Amino acid sequence: MDYKIQISGLAQGKHDYEFPVKGDFFKEFGNSQIKDAALVAKVVLDKGSGWMNVSCNVVGTILTECDRCLDDLEIPMNFTADIAVKTAKLGEEIESTDEFLIIDPSDGELDLKQFIYDYICVNVPLKKEHEEGGCNPKMLKKLEELKVVEVAQEGKEFYAPFGNLDKLLKEAEKKKK
């Protein structure tokens, strides 16, 4: 799957493209945090005379791991990124690579792969957890057992490798009472 848009000879105006983004996409980047994905990148390329803008709307879901129970967690995504495309020859002074996508004018195409990847990664929430009470109780129990074993092995003071989990269990206990 490539994420290239042929820009040489492209007429002025708006052009629509759709690129599917699946789990393999992230494997290629060596990203193991995103285990699977069912996303679509809807790209609108607006070409004027001497300028180009790319608007990219990413919609769908990614599959990752819950930080609390380590079970699968599906996260919905829907965000739009806009970026100006500038042409610059290799070695030419360029102002910023953050706000612009730079392409060599001799390149007849625009490769959006890195751009799409970066924007998806930026939009993955920092806190990746099931909703309160939505964690897998079996996984939580297993983790709790593991923790008990670790505590016994450590022979030290309380050892909590899963900080959030501990908090959650305490809350659950409170609710029981």
Contact window for Zn ion (CB under 5 A) among 47-55, 109-117, 126-134, 146-154 = 126-134
- Measured from the CB atom, the residue of 68 and 147 that comes closer to Zn ion is 68
Minimum distance, C-beta of residue 147 to Zn ion, in the bound complex (Å): 16
Return the residue of 130, 144, 151, 166 that touches Zn ion, per CB under 5 A. Answer: 130
Contact window for Zn ion (CB under 5 A) among 11-19, 58-66, 79-87, 144-152 = 58-66
143 forms part of the interface with Zn ion (CB under 5 A): no
Q: Which of residues 67-86 bind Zn ion (CB under 5 A)?
A: 68-69
Alpha carbons 19 and 26: distance in angstroms, whole number:
14
Contact window for Zn ion (CB under 5 A) among 23-31, 49-57, 80-88, 124-132 = 124-132
- Measured from the CB atom, the residue of 101 and 143 that comes closer to Zn ion is 143
Minimum distance, C-beta of residue 134 to Zn ion, in the bound complex (Å): 6
Q: Does residue 69 contact residue 57 with C-beta atoms inside 8 Å?
A: no
Return the residue of 7, 39, 54, 66 that touches Zn ion, per CB under 5 A. Answer: 66
Alpha carbons 12 and 173: distance in angstroms, whole number:
64
- Measured from the CB atom, the residue of 105 and 133 that comes closer to Zn ion is 133
Q: Does residue 168 contact residue 141 with C-beta atoms inside 8 Å?
A: no
- Measured from the CB atom, the residue of 67 and 111 that comes closer to Zn ion is 67
Residues near Zn ion (CB under 5 A) are: 66, 68-69, 130, 135
